[in-house]
Structure 1
Amino acid sequence: MHHQTTHNSPSRPTIVVLCGSTRYWDQLAEANAYETAAGRIVLAPGCNLKQGHPLWSDPARADRLKQVLDDLHLRKIDLADEVLVVNPGGYIGDSTRREIDYAHRVGKPIRYTHPVDGGDDRG
């Protein structure tokens, strides 16, 4: 049985996943708009735990949700054809760095919105 790989299918646009700190929620939304306008399917963080919301107002619930979201984002990387790191000022936090490392391991091409700072920022 012949399996057609979706990567080479002309009927499907490129899928790009946005990675970056939710402190840059506005910049993530902006990147989403530009990538979508360029005809790409965009996968992005769906929850900003830095903004108040009933879903994660309880600290224990917020901790559990963070684990779920971190894993979910790796699965989004699995689905994507490429990764776009939203890194204003060159900032890349620990979670984003883990996602970049994962994307490298699974062979996804990675683009950055800003030049990458050589410094090892934490946060």
Structure 2
Amino acid sequence: MSEPYFADHATTSTAQEPSLAITLCGSITRAPEALRRVERALALAGHLVNAPIPPLPGESDLTPGQLANLTTGHHAAIRRSDLVIAVVPDGRPGDSTRSEVRYAEQLGVPVRWVWDVDPFVAALGALAA
């Protein structure tokens, strides 16, 4: 994202009211660190952030029911969001990320892509300081 990230919204907020409700999409297996960094930067800038949950160390694969519950919850978060940010540092959005972005677009929720995490996080940090 080279344009101003939140040009039409405040970039920081007061403790009483978050600026934006933002849902992150991206691969928790391929880019967990990138997702955590973006989540943290947005939260420190005062935004309410919903993000995919990474697996716990040593955790086995989730059951189909657990995956369905996570998908349902993530779609609910997207419906309540002011903005969806797809974090894709490797430049290859997976099937789930593309599906979540399509869902947001069908609902009319704006979507922004973050390909390069470092400048995005640095810009948020500078704005929130």
TM-score by length of 2: 0.69
Q: CA RMSD in A?
A: 2.1
Between 62-71 and 79-88, report the one with greater CA deviation. Answer: 62-71
Aligned CA distance change for structure 1 residues 37 and 12 (closer, same or farther; 3 Å): closer
Structure 2 Cα separation of the partners of residues 26 and 102 of structure 1: 24
Q: How many residues align?
A: 100
The SS at the match of 2:76 is: helix
1:1-123 equivalence runs, <5 A: 11-23=17-29, 24-48=31-55, 51-53=57-59, 57=60, 62-114=63-115
Q: Which has the larger radius of gyration?
A: 1
- Shift of residue 12, structure 1, vs aligned partner: 4.3
TM-score by length of 1: 0.72
1:16-70 per-position Cα deviation (integer Å, ceiling 9, x unaligned): 1000011211111000111112211101112437x532xxx3x6x6222111111
Structure 1 Cα separation of the partners of residues 106 and 58 of structure 2: 34
Structure 2 Cα separation of the partners of residues 90 and 69 of structure 1: 24
Q: Is the 8 A contact 2:84 2:104 kept in 1?
A: yes
- Shift of residue 13, structure 1, vs aligned partner: 2.1
Identical pairs, percent: 32
Structure 1 segments, 4+ long, off by >4 Å, are none
Structure with bigger helix share is 1
Q: Which runs of 5+ in 2 are unaligned?
A: 1-13, 117-129
RCO higher in structure (CA 8 A, sep ≥6): 2
Q: Which runs of 5+ in 1 are unaligned?
A: 1-9, 116-123
Instruction: Give the residue type in structure 2 aligned to 1:14.
Output: L
